[in-house]
């Protein structure tokens, strides 16, 4: 029998790591909200940023994981975990490549909320995905559906900016920055392509980590249902 991978869902180091992720994310967003109130930034703008939404999803996801056992979660849970992992990591990547000022990319003088939501949390969540295998196998054809949220975000941002108040959360979504709507094909297409590639990579890593761990196989082997379904498995011929 294959040995159980030590970094499983209930392992003490994993639980501690996930508690730290939740605390870092909560502190960053609480700090953001305080700054929002002080500056007078409209909540409808603050919570419209993809990074903020992705960080809130991370908080919900990790509180869920800390408060429940793997076998009690829905069958689609591992896909949700993978999708949110991809969203937060890609939010950090897009920020570093497209949105950050050149002197910000490698600087450590940026404010805590910026560093936490664009650097610390993406890599902390990514490391968790890499080291803690999924409970069920990731199916790559279903992982394509992880693109639904980024595409919905894109459409909602354009509808709001084009029809409601003219505000766009990011320059690569603003037709005024690119000479009209046709000029958005290039920058927006690049971001969508990056998301698609990133999602495939994250899903592929999740699938490989499942194979290496043998977690589900060990769970089935120790489950009473596995013996009940094969009443003569352990008997002599």
Domain residue ranges of the chain, discontinuous segments joined by +: 12-223
pLDDT per position in the chain (237 positions), as tens?
456 678 888 899 999 999 999 999 999 999 999 999 999 999 999 999 999 999 999 999 999 999 998 888 999 999 999 999 999 999 999 888 877 776 666 666 678 888 899 999 999 999 999 999 988 889 888 999 999 999 999 999 999 999 999 999 999 899 988 889 999 999 899 999 999 999 999 999 998 876 555 444 555 555 554 444 444 444 334
User: Cα(33)–Cα(69) distance, rounded to whole angstroms?
Assistant: 32
Contacts of 143 (CB under 8 A, 6+ apart): 79, 82, 83, 199, 200, 202, 203
User: Cα(167)–Cα(140) distance, rounded to whole angstroms?
Assistant: 35
CA distance readout (Å), 90 to 85, 114, 132, 134, 170: 8, 15, 19, 20, 15
pLDDT number for residue 2 = 53
Contacts of 46 (CB under 8 A, 6+ apart): 32, 33, 36, 52
């Amino acid at each position: 029998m294959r040995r159980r991978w030590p970094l499983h869902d209930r392992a003490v180091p994993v639980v501690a790591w996930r508690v730290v992720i939740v605390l870092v994310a909560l502190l960053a967003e609480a700090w953001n909200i305080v700054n929002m109130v002080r500056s007078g930034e409209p909540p409808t703008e603050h919570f419209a940023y993809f990074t903020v939404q992705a960080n809130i999803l991370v908080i919900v996801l990790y509180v869920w994981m800390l408060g429940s056992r793997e076998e009690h979660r829905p069958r689609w849970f591992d896909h949700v975990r993978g999708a949110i992992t991809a969203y937060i990591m890609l939010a950090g990547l897009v920020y570093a490549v497209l949105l950050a000022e050149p002197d910000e990319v490698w600087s450590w003088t940026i404010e805590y909320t910026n560093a936490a939501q664009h650097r610390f949390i993406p890599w902390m969540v990514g490391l968790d995905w890499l080291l803690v295998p999924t409970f069920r196998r990731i199916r790559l054809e279903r992982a394509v559906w992880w693109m639904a949220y980024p595409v919905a975000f894109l459409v909602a941002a354009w509808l709001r900016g084009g029809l409601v108040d003219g505000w766009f959360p990011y320059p690569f979504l603003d037709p005024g920055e690119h000479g009209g709507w046709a000029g958005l094909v290039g920058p927006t297409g690049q971001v969508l392509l990056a998301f698609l590639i990133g999602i495939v990579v994250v899903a592929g890593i999740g699938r490989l980590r499942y194979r290496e761990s043998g977690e589900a196989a060990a769970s089935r082997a120790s489950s009473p249902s596995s013996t009940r379904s094969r009443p003569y498995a352990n008997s002599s011929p």
